[in-house]
Chain A
Amino acid sequence: MNKLVKILCCIAAVAVIFILRDMCCNNFFANISYDNNIDVIELFSLIASSIIAIWIGFTITNKLTEQNSAKQFLFNDIIKIEEQIDQLEQLYKEDNVNTTVVFKLITLIDSKLTVLKSSVISFGIKDVDFENLYQTYLDIFMISTNLDSEVGVISDSINPEVVKFRKHLRDIVAKINRYK
């Protein structure tokens, strides 16, 4: 549940407790009197305030649901990119590197980054810096597909780039998470 909704629920709960306590302490129910006359202005005011309250509640819930599903969608894409980077890193820890898988992963990561970037733009999330992430991706591409290097050399030089890539990806997660 969103933080704002939790806070509103807490405030409402505290208000209800105070009202109930006040009612009980002052023997409220014994002294209830009813006025059967209908005041048109009060009735109109009651209906109008109810409609406004329902509309505000509906709008807030709708907006929060939209934001949360947009964020969840982007986070799922980011998780997949992380998994592919993990796989790439893992490949270079093995004795025999499967270069076909390396190239497949490099291409997949590129297409995922392209989709993520265009999704962030179409969801209207601003100030997300993809340039650093993409530059690090190009460094990883450069190192991991240098087929003439010793595997050990690639493994040593790919690690700092993978760390950098993860850091940039987490910066993007933080930016998306702050989006309201």
Chain B
Amino acid sequence: MKHIKISKEFSQNLGGRFISLGDFSGEKFYNEILKPKFEEAKNEGVDLAIDLDGASPYGSSFLDESFGRLKREYGEESVKSIIKFETKNYPHVVELIEKRIW
């Protein structure tokens, strides 16, 4: 299983949707971390665990530009079967991704 801890590998303070709008955007996270790791996991046939704790705030714009874009690019079924969320603090963020973004 592959693993991403957003607070360590990306940032503890998350931004908005696009790189042009500020630091640590959803677009930057998608390009630099999420997409490459997802492709690795997909090619190796393993799950990709994403630890949400330790970073904030998870705005819908950030989530849509990262996880939403992943779904639009690779398809819902593929994304849902590979990505596994790990969180104690943000179950509502996982709900938002699974019920609104995907």
Contact = CB atoms under 8 A, between A and B. Distances in A.
Nearest to A139: B100
Interface in A111-143: 114, 134-135, 137-139, 141-143
Given A147-B16, A148-B18, A141 B61 contact: no
A87 interface: no
B99 A145 contact: no
Given A138-B95, A146-B59, 4 more contacts: A138-B92, A138-B100, A139-B100, A149-B61
Contact of A147 (B17, B92, B96): B17
Interface of B: 15-18, 21, 56-62, 90-92, 95-96, 99-100
Given A138-B95, A141-B92, A148 B61 contact: yes
Nearest to A149: B61
Contacts of A149: 61
B61 A147 contact: yes
Interface residues of A, number: 20
11 contacts: A103-B56, A103-B58, A107-B92, A141-B96, A142-B100, A143-B60, A145-B60, A147-B15, A147-B16, A147-B17, A149-B61
A148 B57 contact: no
Contact of B99 (A114, A138, A143): A138
B59 A145 contact: yes
A22 B95 CA distance: 70
A145 B61 contact: yes
Contacts of B90: 107
A62 interface: no
A49 to B, nearest CB: 56
B14 to A, nearest CB: 10
Nearest to B21: A148
Most buried by B among A99, A107, A143: A107
Nearest to A137: B92
B92 A110 contact: yes
Given A147-B17, A148-B18, A103 B92 contact: no
Contact of A148 (B16, B95, B100): B16
Contacts of B62: 147
A146 B60 contact: yes
B41 to A, nearest CB: 27
Contacts of B16: 147-148
Nearest to A144: B60
Contacts of A143: 60
